[in-house]
C-alpha cells in the first residue's frame, strides 16, 4: 500500500510522482511472491482507464504523467 493513498470514497490512487513508479511497485511485489515462472504467469496486472479523463480538447492529445508526455490518438 506504500505506493497508494486512500481516497475519501475508499478508492486507492497513485501516491508516487509518476504512474510508472506505481507500476514498478506492483511489478516488484508480484516478482517478490515468486509464483510467476518463465513458463506460466499466475499473477497479471490489468489496467482499466478512462481515457477521456486524459484527453485535452485544445491540443487534441492525451496527456499521461504530465505535459511532457502527450500522445495523439495514433
On whether residue 13 sits in a domain, the answer given is yes
The pLDDT value recorded for residue 2 is 63
The pLDDT value recorded for residue 13 is 75
Query: For residues 12 and 6, what is the distance between their CA atoms, to the nearest angstrom?
Result: 5
On whether residue 42 sits in a domain, the answer given is no
On whether residue 17 sits in a domain, the answer given is yes
Domain interval for residue 52: 4-36+47-69
On whether residue 14 sits in a domain, the answer given is yes
**pTM of the full structure:** 0.47
On whether residue 21 sits in a domain, the answer given is yes
On whether residue 63 sits in a domain, the answer given is yes
Q: What is the SS3 assignment for 2-68?
A: CCEEECCCCCEEECCCCHHHHHHHHHHHHHHHCCCCCCCCCCCCCCCCCHHHHEECCCCEEECCCCC
On whether residue 11 sits in a domain, the answer given is yes
Query: For residues 58 and 16, what is the distance between their CA atoms, to the nearest angstrom?
Result: 27
Residues with pLDDT less than 70, the chain? 1-3, 48-49
Tell me how many domains the chain contains: 1
The pLDDT value recorded for residue 60 is 87
On whether residue 41 sits in a domain, the answer given is no
Say how many C-beta atoms besides its own lie within 10 A of residue 26's C-beta. Answer: 14
Amino acid at each position: 500500500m506504500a505506493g497508494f493513498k486512500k481516497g475519501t470514497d475508499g478508492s486507492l490512487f497513485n501516491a508516487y510522482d509518476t504512474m510508472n513508479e506505481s507500476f514498478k511497485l506492483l511489478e516488484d511485489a508480484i516478482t517478490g511472491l515468486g509464483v510467476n515462472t518463465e513458463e506460466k504467469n499466475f499473477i497479471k496486472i490489468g489496467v482499466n482507464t478512462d481515457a477521456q479523463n486524459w484527453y485535452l480538447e485544445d491540443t487534441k492529445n492525451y496527456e499521461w504523467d504530465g505535459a511532457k508526455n502527450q500522445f495523439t490518438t495514433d
